[in-house]
Structure 1
């Protein structure tokens, strides 16, 4: 019987060459919008347009941005920038205006430095407004440039009206871009924009660019809001603080010059910091005008700079009482701040850019803030002593609370497991327990950890699937017994009044290999916590550590020394190699190593990539779109012994969304 030709139409259920589908253009975004943007509402797709306008102002072009909420549900953004170029791209032979809105990874912000169109910008991935276009039922763009106005219209991400050019009408602005888009409701939980978040976003642009005029026009109500801050960060922080500052505001800025050894010209930060004795704290950070609501390495740099400067002042003036030890949180606890960092090539976590991951940003911000605060404190000694009193009082209160916890635990009868390498501190908020896969990885973790506040419990092999194990029989399993005794909390159900007073660690972190086996161990441990320790999850005490899968050794380049970079997955690996290529280093000159497991890492590598609070990736375990009952039903479907048919149906329906690691 002859073989079936490769181009024959496959029978239903068959797997043939024609089964492979290639998503083109904006189709990936429209099929998986959650990978590219927030889908609870359209704010982020509007923000991408707004960020482009702000990047023009940051580059020194234009002093006005206007956003209009139209009656028909559309949103328009107008700026006075240079206008998007509309001629033909020299390589693609298509209008640049069309490429910007219809091609992923097409933009003017990849080339950084003096040779690029933008020295500093929030744009990094090159998918911004193309995602906005992909998820809009209609988008209109007009670019005013060189006395002409270029106009294009898109529908469902595709060109509806091709590029048209005409002379700019009399009285029209000389340059700038206007984008009007109609977000498609089918991609979002709600089509309504959160007005409070939008206003905060617009106000922040005015705060970070003193003198920039930002307006919000609401056609339905006829209301117009306007923001302009000549005093920048200082004015904004003083207006927003819920309580009077203990000492005058500490504000300043610092940027690298052309001859700086470690950072590019213009990189640095501006800040305003206030200390209050009571009330809520205000903490906002930005990178190249992009709000980073989840913080990141620039926040860590500010925290480290504050701590080192205040600690140095206290030691210089011999203000610290005997027996009191200062920690960073003692200084940071009552600090409110607004931080605006400028980073040449920012690396964000995810497409919506909520957290900055650039490791150099920690050193960048700390190196400019610390000397400035040290100088300020020693020029204002009376204010410095007031701040020192506040910080020392916080340290004393923390130590008293830790002593109370220690006494309460001293009468316990449970014997800690012998495999547990405990930490020295007894402060719940600081202590962390890492549940580590295997003795080899446990050894590296023990050597690389912070002995003061990080404990390690190695686990042997894969933990028991406890989804259908009766609670009374859990302690029969040695590994689960050791976990329960180490964390100091008994197994319980969601309906139980669980006693968390014996909890010994503020963070219980699952640390497994970055491969498929490691993912399986993660799932088994998550099943244990969700089923038998739900109150720990509900209270936010359970985390998953994300170690890297690849190490890239980058050789020395001129004055730049050799360096190591780490990638969580293939996507980050490609980004690192692309960055090396842009820096003039051939990809094949970089040495790529894949970690077979955590045990291959030495202590220093494990600390730098996975244990160090300032540089690690630590994900909190929390409920997503499903509530507790729905989550239990879903986990039961995945982990229950009698749910094989349901699992098979799930894999048939959604298996193509999973990338298999062989």
Structure 2
């Protein structure tokens, strides 16, 4: 379809006539408005071009034509995608008089995925992917193995022709001769009978893309891994020959192979961030629907025709102990990050099924009169939702939202039938898991209601409202959240010293009794029942888990003040686990700190005119260095005082070293990589002992024995 734009020379309505209109034909429209087709001209648009070609190669695997795709990043900035599919048709297309290869790469909305029967379900749908990539490329080469021969054609910014390449290899800067009288699909070699496939290599056009646009290797790896999960048996190989620093291929060509036979069940396990409550459940089914679409008749006219479609539904779900949810949705292996009708149908069925089951088991599960909501069910859920159908309707070329309305009802019915069967199964393993997941949903519902009530009743700060806070909290007077600080201290002895050392205007103290519950292992219900955990959540005042609202936090800083020994480190780790699991936005905002109390107090005697001085040190090594330096100066040093706990410090010492903002040292707890942090917390604090034991054994050689506090 031509793209019509208005010329900027039209300055007024009287001067604006038809001659000011520009009609952009074919690939010229793509080069004029690339963002309309690939989303942007930065790195995201660059990667979208790669996805378009990879998706076409994967479509061949979906059609059972080939099971191997090779993606190669070259040092000259080009990228190639090779598949073992049927190969692009090389014969003449009758309406245009061009070969199939030239039609695919130069004509918008041309391809074999408009209902001709060649592809039952595919990711390439609009017939613009290959031609758009060609349009925004400085050079594109295509080779097709078909019928015992290898055919080749090259393009420069969408125009077919021939490059005069030197012996050093192909380059977009090589002399180019466009075809004039007619195009030529060259035969450049032979292959064995039965060998088919397509190889595409292209160089992006610097006239189109921003200078800093680069191929993102990590995103490419992630996409390749994801696709291999979605197409079991497909081997996706990514080869990096760029030799870029700080990449796996920095020291030479690097290759990664992705092949997963377990499909979306394996994908769900890979995505899951927490220990399991249920196994991975597969919910599968299919149904048909009719829709009216324009179909090209024998005379070349588009005629509205009612056609019957088949929609296949394959969903994997798995509930874990956490509250984070991970839902990935796909249509014909195309990622739909913003969902669509298939996700809406899935969520609709989840809510309907669980409400019905909890109503049946209300007395057993102590549901009460409250109704479960969608978020209660989705907490801790990892799900992969996939549907396959011919010619799905997407919102735009970037295919981020599915719009085919009939899919919603089909997915809903399949999920309702299959999930009900699992939740009501009399098989022992399913029965146990069904009860566990229903108990978890009820716990999430109660946690949500508890958090809502807490938010409604806990406000800062009137005499009436402050009475609802724990009695052991020693609150501050200020209402200014920007400057207030909550110190979580270990034990009553530290509380007593802290009370005398603090500035009561803006510093609050909350004592805890030793080691709190390890919430990485415990359920959310057990966590809420634990007095220490409940007190901390109540005092912070912003809720917990998915209901946590950072804007309601009662303090600007939360400071963990524990003893400078092994037990203190353990308590600090348990507290950090609580904040990471249930108050993560506080950590992400950089509002959680660890106090750094000193280990030693070194006091020198007065000598002549030199007054005695006090030096605090924070490690054995630092203490020895300070002692050595003082000895060299001839200073007399009293016996260093070794602090075993905060309670051993005088109030003025604690204030000077740990609590007074003018002198203290704090360590900010940061979260740079949530996934890696999740794995570390699960390794160190989770219920699976074997990986932790292996970690301790492997790390024993690196342990500095001097750091053992014994």
Q: TM-score, normalised by structure 1?
A: 0.57
SS of structure 1 residue aligned to 2:407: helix
From 421, 426, 431, the counterpart of 1:381: 431
- Distance in 1 between residues matched to 2:10 and 2:55, nearest whole Å: 49
Name the counterpart of 1:296: 340
Name the counterpart of 1:492: none
Name the counterpart of 2:65: 61
Q: Is the counterpart of residue 269 in structure 1 residue 290 in structure 2?
A: no
- Distance in 2 between residues matched to 1:281 and 1:327, nearest whole Å: 14
- Distance in 1 between residues matched to 2:36 and 2:383, nearest whole Å: 31
From 449, 453, 457, the counterpart of 1:399: 449
Do 2:286 and 2:410's aligned partners in 1 also have CA atoms closer than 8 Å? no
Q: Report the CA distance between 1:264 and its aligned residue.
A: 4.9
Name the counterpart of 2:222: 200
- Distance in 1 between residues matched to 2:400 and 2:275, nearest whole Å: 29
- Distance in 2 between residues matched to 1:303 and 1:209, nearest whole Å: 24
Name the counterpart of 2:258: 227
Do 2:271 and 2:382's aligned partners in 1 also have CA atoms closer than 8 Å? no
Alignment of 1:149-298 (within 5 A): 149-161=150-162, 162-166=183-187, 168-170=189-191, 174-189=195-210, 190-220=212-242, 221=249, 222-256=253-287, 264=308, 266-278=310-322, 280-298=324-342
From 104, 107, 120, the counterpart of 1:103: 107
- Distance in 1 between residues matched to 2:285 and 2:551, nearest whole Å: 45
Do 2:325 and 2:378's aligned partners in 1 also have CA atoms closer than 8 Å? no
- Distance in 2 between residues matched to 1:127 and 1:170, nearest whole Å: 29
What is the CA deviation profile of residues 562-595 of structure 1, one whole-angstrom value per residue up to 9, with x for unaligned ones?
Answer: xxxxxxxxxxxxxxxxxxxxxxxxxxxxxxxxxx
- Distance in 2 between residues matched to 1:219 and 1:196, nearest whole Å: 15
Q: Report the CA distance between 1:94 and its aligned residue.
A: 1.6
From 329, 350, 354, the counterpart of 2:396: 350
Alpha-carbon spacing, 1:129–1:74, altered in 2? closer, same or farther (3 Å) = same
**Count of equivalent residues:** 404
Q: Report the CA distance between 1:360 and its aligned residue.
A: 1.8
Alignment of 1:468-487 (within 5 A): none
- Distance in 1 between residues matched to 2:224 and 2:194, nearest whole Å: 22
Alpha-carbon spacing, 1:406–1:242, altered in 2? closer, same or farther (3 Å) = closer
What is the CA deviation profile of residues 180-229 of structure 1, one whole-angstrom value per residue up to 9, with x for unaligned ones?
Answer: 11111332333311111111111122111111111001123311100111
Do 2:147 and 2:194's aligned partners in 1 also have CA atoms closer than 8 Å? no
- Distance in 1 between residues matched to 2:24 and 2:371, nearest whole Å: 58
Do 2:148 and 2:191's aligned partners in 1 also have CA atoms closer than 8 Å? no
What is the CA deviation profile of residues 454-489 of structure 1, one whole-angstrom value per residue up to 9, with x for unaligned ones?
Answer: xxxxxxxxxxxxxxxxxxxxxxxxxxxxxxxxxxxx
Q: Is the counterpart of residue 371 in structure 1 residue 417 in structure 2?
A: yes
Alpha-carbon spacing, 1:390–1:88, altered in 2? closer, same or farther (3 Å) = same
Name the counterpart of 1:40: 42
- Distance in 1 between residues matched to 2:276 and 2:11, nearest whole Å: 71
Q: Report the CA distance between 1:338 and its aligned residue.
A: 1.5
Alignment of 1:478-497 (within 5 A): none
Name the counterpart of 2:406: 360
- Distance in 2 between residues matched to 1:173 and 1:73, nearest whole Å: 33
Alpha-carbon spacing, 1:163–1:172, altered in 2? closer, same or farther (3 Å) = farther
Do 2:148 and 2:194's aligned partners in 1 also have CA atoms closer than 8 Å? no
- Distance in 2 between residues matched to 1:289 and 1:315, nearest whole Å: 37
SS of structure 1 residue aligned to 2:207: helix
Alpha-carbon spacing, 1:317–1:209, altered in 2? closer, same or farther (3 Å) = same
Q: Report the CA distance between 1:63 and its aligned residue.
A: 0.9
Q: Report the CA distance between 1:408 and its aligned residue.
A: 6.9
SS of structure 1 residue aligned to 2:184: strand
Alignment of 1:471-550 (within 5 A): none
Name the counterpart of 2:371: 325
- Distance in 1 between residues matched to 2:220 and 2:11, nearest whole Å: 48
Q: Report the CA distance between 1:375 and its aligned residue.
A: 0.7
Alignment of 1:135-146 (within 5 A): 135-146=136-147
- Distance in 2 between residues matched to 1:171 and 1:387, nearest whole Å: 56
What is the CA deviation profile of residues 21-70 of structure 1, one whole-angstrom value per residue up to 9, with x for unaligned ones?
Answer: 11111111111111111322210011111111111111111111111111
- Distance in 2 between residues matched to 1:241 and 1:142, nearest whole Å: 41
Alpha-carbon spacing, 1:250–1:11, altered in 2? closer, same or farther (3 Å) = closer
Name the counterpart of 1:429: none
Larger radius of gyration: 2
Q: Report the CA distance between 1:12 and its aligned residue.
A: 9.7
The alignment's C-alpha RMSD in Å is 3.0
Name the counterpart of 2:641: none
Name the counterpart of 1:316: 360
What is the CA deviation profile of residues 533-585 of structure 1, one whole-angstrom value per residue up to 9, with x for unaligned ones?
Answer: xxxxxx9xxxxxxxxxxxxxxxxxxxxxxxxxxxxxxxxxxxxxxxxxxxxxx
Alpha-carbon spacing, 1:382–1:53, altered in 2? closer, same or farther (3 Å) = same
- Distance in 2 between residues matched to 1:12 and 1:341, nearest whole Å: 50
Alignment of 1:575-586 (within 5 A): none
- Distance in 2 between residues matched to 1:73 and 1:80, nearest whole Å: 24
Name the counterpart of 1:123: 124
- Distance in 2 between residues matched to 1:55 and 1:40, nearest whole Å: 26
Alpha-carbon spacing, 1:374–1:12, altered in 2? closer, same or farther (3 Å) = closer
SS of structure 1 residue aligned to 2:131: helix
What is the CA deviation profile of residues 609-648 of structure 1, one whole-angstrom value per residue up to 9, with x for unaligned ones?
Answer: xxxxxxxxxxxxxxxxxxxxxxxxxxxxxxxxxxxxxxxx
Alpha-carbon spacing, 1:183–1:390, altered in 2? closer, same or farther (3 Å) = same
